[in-house]
Each structure stands twice: as C-alpha cells, then as structure tokens.
Structure 1
C-alpha cells in the first residue's frame, strides 16, 4: 500500500503521544509497541505502512545458519519490502538474539525502507547505525537470530510489542516509541489528531500565562467557549 503523501506529511507533525490519546478516545488502548524505542537519539519521526515479519521460538532443526539461504528467510523477505514501508518484526521480545545486523539493515536502506521496528534487538550495532536505517528496538545483542528464534514468514498478522499488527496498518515512530493506526481508522485519526495538537498547543499558552489546570485540562464549558472564540478568529 502507498500512503497519500499529504497524510504522511501531516502525521510527521503529530506526536505518538497525541495519537495514543486520539486512539484511546476511540476505544483502542493497546496501540503502543512495548520495547520498540529509538536505537539512536534524535531520529526523525517516521510514518509508513507496516510490512510485517514473524519469528517463533528457535527449534534446532529449523533455526540454523543454513536457513538464511532458505526461500523462507529474512533475506527473501527484505527483497519483497516496498519503498517507504516500515518493517515491523515480531521477535517475541527476545533480547539475546539479534534479528538483523549491518548487512541486512544496509540492504533495507538501499531498498528505501523507511525504518525497522521490533520488540527484539539488533546485532552489529555500529554497522547498523552506520547503515543509516532508522531503527526502533529493545537494544543490541551479539548472537544471531537463530540462537534464539526461527523465522517463519512475512506479510501476515503479527503481534509486536504486545500489539496486533495487520499488514498495511500505519505505523508512526518517534522519540516516545512506535504507535499503530488501524488502516480503516486512518482518515479520522489524522483529522482528530490535527485538532488535538492545536487544542493542546493553545492549552500550553494558557498554562504559560498562569491559568490553573482545573477546568483547563480537561476543558470545562467556559474554557471550551474561550477556545472556540480563539479558533473563530482564524487561529
């Protein structure tokens, strides 16, 4: 799936914190991927459709170095990744086996993959950082993936960081982590998030001028009226 560039640019201005608030109002509480934090400080907020990959526990006859050359392998999956996607990898939260290293991340970067997001870890840390691929993960570990995981497929529904991810759901990742937006809710979430950001920016200006929090955040009727007047002036 290719996202509307206008939607992408809008979402790049919306924090994941705001998105979780908007999604919570819609009844979706479980949208923040546990363990998927920026590998490098200062990474730009990124947006893209999810390209999913799945690992299961290691089984000695399947999780071998020879499996890296199998048709069902992380290498094969990377060659299917479309430009602009965010690779979301279910690593079961395993932290002692690195799912991708420098060579695989360099290839993903070359293919135009926007980012790698996983609840697991990477390996070859310096090389991964040098690849230029933005990564959200739980850290780094020296052992390869087959030391603790078996790769089983891609572009299927997965669980990553305790969150259900369907291929082509939208992922937004920033300094607070990574958040899922269900594809069917994308348009309304974007619209409501823009308004939420405007409202919260106005609330911050009110706080800065000394307004007390009760009645301001959340707004009471008087505050809502003042905010409506503010917007009516074209702000």
Structure 2
C-alpha cells in the first residue's frame, strides 16, 4: 500500500487506537509532549542529530518535504532551545506535518496561535549556537525510540508513535475497527447506557479468576 494512503488513513484516527491494534509499536517517552497544534499528525521522518546546535535543525528543515515530520535528537545538550517560532513558521509554510524535538523549544506565544504541531520536552528562552557540521537523515534515538529516515511518525495530544510502512499497513484495518467500536460505545454512553453493558467485563473477570483464556473487549 502506498505510504500516502497509509498516512491519510492514519490522520483520521486517534493514535491510541493504532497503539491498541498493536501494542508493540514504540511510542516516544511521555516527557515529549505536544506544546502547540492539534489533531492527528502523520508523516515521514526527516531525522536530525543536534547537540544543542541550530545548524543541523536548519538543514533538516531545508530538506524536508511537504507532509514530513522533522524529528530532532537534541538530548545531548538539553539546556538550550533548538527550534522556535521562526523554524515552526517556516515548517508550516513548507507544508510539514510537525516538528518533534527530544529537547527544548521556545517562542510559545508564536507557536500556540500558529496551528502547527510542535512536540518537545519543554521550553527555554536561550537558543543554541549555529556552528556544528549538520548531521541529518541518519538513524537517531528520540524519546527512547530508534528512528530511521522515512519512518512513519504519528502523533496527537496523547503522544507520538513510530512505525514502519509495513507495520502500519498491518494494523490499520484493526485500528479503524477499534475506532468504530469506541465511537459506538461513546454514543451509547451519551444515551445513558452503562459502559459495562457494552463490554464483556464480567465474563472476562470471571475467566481471569478461574485461569480461563479470555480477552477483554467490546460487545457492540
């Protein structure tokens, strides 16, 4: 299946249901959280290794294509910001999906109204220098996850998940089915129906107690 088709389908889903469809798919450390933007983002990773230096991030931004996610490992120097309002505004102009930083960013007053997704561990007003030889499009480790150039990156308010194209293709049908079931359960809850009436909780609990193979699930 074409990458673009996979990403289009993924953008319609909460990242949590993709994770539920295959809990082995890696997710970035929960300390990397969304500071700006909304909805589900999905794109190919353009990778950057930045030891707190801006030049590698700028090269990554320059080579990134529409829809890509700029993923930056800045964990080696966590005391400075390696992206901010200018970089995010340029990323948005170029049509990128998001910037993900294992490190710090700045300029929240610019980022928040921009409508562009930025993930980071936090903020700092001090930026790094721009003197390092750029290292881009190489394997990096971001938020405890090994990421290679072109890996598929999905994110929403819950966090960031990484998958290969084959992994995402293998779980999308199941993820879409989970999403439909959860929407049906939410609709029933809104009508006043108990959550437990939409699940096999009681039977599953008894099976767990007796050692009978079982799986918790929806009944709608």
TM-score w.r.t. length of structure 1: 0.73
Alignment of 1:179-198 (within 5 A): 179-198=161-180
What are the ranges of 5 or more consecutive residues in structure 2 without an aligned counterpart?
Answer: 208-212
Aligned-pair distance for 1:165?
A: 1.0
1:86 has 2:69 as partner:
yes
Task: Provide structure 1 residue ranges, at least 5 long, that are not aligned to the other structure.
Answer: 231-235
Equivalent position of 1:23 in the other structure: 22
Distance in 2 between the 1:165 and 1:194 partners? 25
Match of 2:11 in 1: 12
User: CA 1:15–1:151 in 2, change beyond 3 Å: closer, same or farther?
Assistant: farther
Q: CA RMSD in A?
A: 3.3
Cα gap change, 1:184 to 1:145, in 2 (>3 Å): farther
Shift of 1:97: 0.7
Q: For 1:39-68, what per-residue CA distance to the aligned partner results, in whole angstroms no more than 9, with x for missing partners?
A: 13x612111111111123x6xxxx6xxx84
- List aligned pairs for 1:181-220, cutoff 5 A: 181-202=163-184, 209-210=193-194, 211=197, 213-215=201-203
Q: 1:93 to 1:176 in 2, by over 3 A?
A: farther
**TM-score, normalised to structure 2's length?**
0.77
Query: Could you tell me whether the CA contact under 8 Å between 2:100 and 2:118 is conserved in 1?
Result: yes
Cα shift at 1:145: 2.5
Deviation at 1:116, TM superposition (A): 0.6
Match of 1:36 among 26, 32, 35: 32
Corresponding pairs, count: 207
For residues 199 and 44 of structure 1, do their structure 2 counterparts lie closer, same or farther at Cα, with a shift above 3 Å needed? closer
Runs of 4+ in 1 over 3 A off after TM superposition: 128-132, 149-152, 199-208
